[in-house]
Chain A
Amino acid sequence: MITFIVRRLLLIPVVVFGCILLVFAVMQLLSPAQRLSLYIDNPNELRQISRNLDVMIHRYGLDRPVYEQFASWVGQVFRGDLGWSESAARPVSGAFRRFFPVSAELALWSALPIVMGGILLGSASAVRHNKLFDHAMRFFAITGWSLPTFVAGLLALFLFYGILQWFPPGQIGITAAAMMRSADFTSYTGIITLDAVLNWNWYVFADALRHLVLPVFVLSLVSWAMLLRITRASMLETLRQDYVTTARSKGLSERVVIKKHARRNALIAPITVAGITVAFLFNGLVITETIFDFHGLGRWAARAAQTFDLPALLGYLLFNGVLIVMANLIVDILYAKIDPRVRLG
């Protein structure tokens, strides 16, 4: 087990280095003036680029050989120095600190429907194989899988805001926003629901939750559909195994057979796709935050793409890459812990 973890850990720097190299290679597609904007984190200096281009190119070493540029850029990345984001009007690292809590709140709340809904409904669907419930779940899953996130988002707004007026877009209502600005509300984390609980302010909590319902639903739809189908298939496979029949013949109740014997083993398959789920969440954040007007990382990235804000885009890409590599590492270790065939084979 330990050799397996060590071997996986040793691969991490290789892959992360590869990610950095890939982003640097993409940077080489840009003109020197555009590349300069990735090095400068002072807006005043940034505006002078066109006036004294040659001086700046020399100052930031863009006239040196490529491998030297790469070395100095890697140094910058590790210092967290990624330039100035025009669309956020602050340095890239500062923008991350500001936007991260908003996206984290969305992603954390989405974990609930994805994991609970996907796994419980998936195994329930397998238990009722070929019954009406199973067919309904399969239908919902393939529809959720085929529905583009932006279509789902717009339709959800159309239905639940336009017609029913239940859930408004935006992150928080006016009254709650005023409460949050008042002196007796301290922002500890930037995650509104968590801050509201810490401040014991249930009005803000309820309001934030109301604004979270639609985006969380839309964000979790794709991952939920995938997880449901994988859990269902894996559960079907497990229910056919001999040891499940043995458990039944021992006279155990059906509930115990399914919960204690079958579902535990069927859960191995969904864990393997947890890394993909993280990637889906990042993709979904860009669209969901844009539609529902959440000022988080995804909306910042979308704005950056529209306004050609390169430092923000490349910084966001690197951030995604590192996080997904980490997620995959955790998945691999979990998987090896549950299933001994992986680390021995």
Chain B
Amino acid sequence: MKRRKRQYRTIKKFFRNPLGVIGLFLLVFFVVLAILAPVLAPPAWQDEPYRIPRDGFSPTPKPPNEEHPFGTTEGQYDIYYGIIWGTRSAWVVSLIVVGCSAVIGIILGSIAAFYGGWLDEVIMRITDIFYAFPFLVGAMVLTTILGRGLDNVMIALIALGWMGYARLIRGDILQIREAEYVLAARAAGAGSFRLLTRHIWPNAIWPVVVQGTMGMGSIVITAAALSFLGVGAPMGYADWGQLISFSRNWVIGFQGNPLAYWYVVVYPSIAITLFCLSWNLVGDALRDILDPRLRGVM
């Protein structure tokens, strides 16, 4: 009863933050886009919906027309189709990567904090080592070695993305471990597993949730950056980064009309920026509510 009341209060507080609400609405919009993808943009090949249909092979992009509402890229890939189905790719990549990294981080961080001693030392030094590699550069090298493809992109992003969650939950557990209610539960004879799952995690998990929300946007950015560099999604796969990489040679039009190919840059850029912005707005609002100490940071 009490818990439900607290949750209700949290939700009410969230809706008092206008920017957070805007972010949430945008996210709902992207969910709808992803769900309705087969209706909004019927796939050309039923068994390969992520393959963007092509209309010829001409290298010059074509402006928006009846058949292609957002125009076509170089190689005549349909931009509208790529954006609609790219929404699905963005959701799949960000949810899987953030979910898996958070689970790995939570498990390792909890072990380190809960058992302490040499185990803690070893796990934290391993996080230090993984932290030494810049996210994008590391993911680029790993994807190159594993081979092009969205599944390998996800493996690389998870392998290099779990450390933040581990450090965060470790710090929180170290604080909570000595709290009176935990000591009381321990004195009452609760085992390690019960202590963790019933008493510690429910109280230590919120900063991880906030971190995860902020992570959703940056994961999509990094995955798209890999596609942009040509080591991410395979050629012709519906992915926002791929669409932007198609636009690279067409940013500047020709003499006299620099705006000639605006559509190849503008549509995919809007899609990816809005997606990240909405997650960051929601994350910002959540942080204000769940972690008042950090109000306004990041």
Contacts and interface: CB of A to CB of B under 8 A. Distances in A.
A229 B283 CA distance: 14
A149 B225 contact: yes
Interface stretch (B95-103, B125-133, B166-174, B202-210): B125-133
A83 to B, nearest CB: 14
15 contacts: A14-B125, A142-B284, A143-B277, A147-B276, A148-B276, A162-B251, A230-B297, A230-B298, A233-B294, A287-B225, A305-B144, A310-B144, A317-B133, A320-B133, A320-B137
B133 A158 contact: no
Secondary structure class of chain B's binding surface, majority of residues: helix
A163 B251 CA distance: 11
Contacts of B63: none
B221 A26 contact: no
Interface in B268-291: 269, 272-273, 276-277, 280-281, 284
A154 B247 contact: yes
Given A145-B298, A151-B272, A317-B141, 5 more contacts: A18-B126, A22-B130, A142-B281, A154-B244, A155-B269
Interface residues on B, range: 35 or more
Interface stretch (A49-57, A61-69, A108-116, A278-286): A278-286
A263 interface: no
Contacts of B244: 150-151, 154
Given A146-B276, A149-B225, A236-B296, A283 B135 contact: yes
Nearest to A302: B229
The 3 closest A-B pairs by CB, nearest first: A18-B129, A162-B258, A283-B136
Interface in A144-172: 145-151, 154-155, 157-158, 161-163
B189 interface: no
B294 A146 contact: no
Interface residues of A, number: 56
A15 B125 contact: yes
Interface string B123-163: 00110111111111110111111100000000000000000
B280 to A, nearest CB: 5
B226 to A, nearest CB: 9
A226 interface: yes
B225 A162 contact: no
B86 interface: no
A29 B142 CA distance: 10
Interface string A283-313: 1001100110000000001100110101001
Interface of B: 125-126, 128-138, 140-146, 217, 221, 224-225, 228-231, 241, 244, 247-248, 251-253, 258-259, 262, 265, 269, 272-273, 276-277, 280-281, 284, 294-298
Nearest to A319: B137
A290 B229 contact: yes
B136 to A, nearest CB: 4
Nearest to A281: B134
Nearest to A287: B225
Contacts of B272: 148, 151
Contact of B146 (A29, A143, A291, A302): A29
A292 to B, nearest CB: 11
Interface in A1-26: 11, 14-15, 18-19, 21-22, 26
Contacts of B273: 146-148, 151
B142 A26 contact: yes
Nearest to A155: B269
A306 B231 contact: yes
Contacts of A157: 251-252
B229 A142 contact: no
A279 B134 contact: yes
A314 interface: yes
A176 interface: no
Given A158-B252, A158-B265, A320 B134 contact: yes
Nearest to A22: B129
A324 B144 contact: no
Nearest to B19: A142
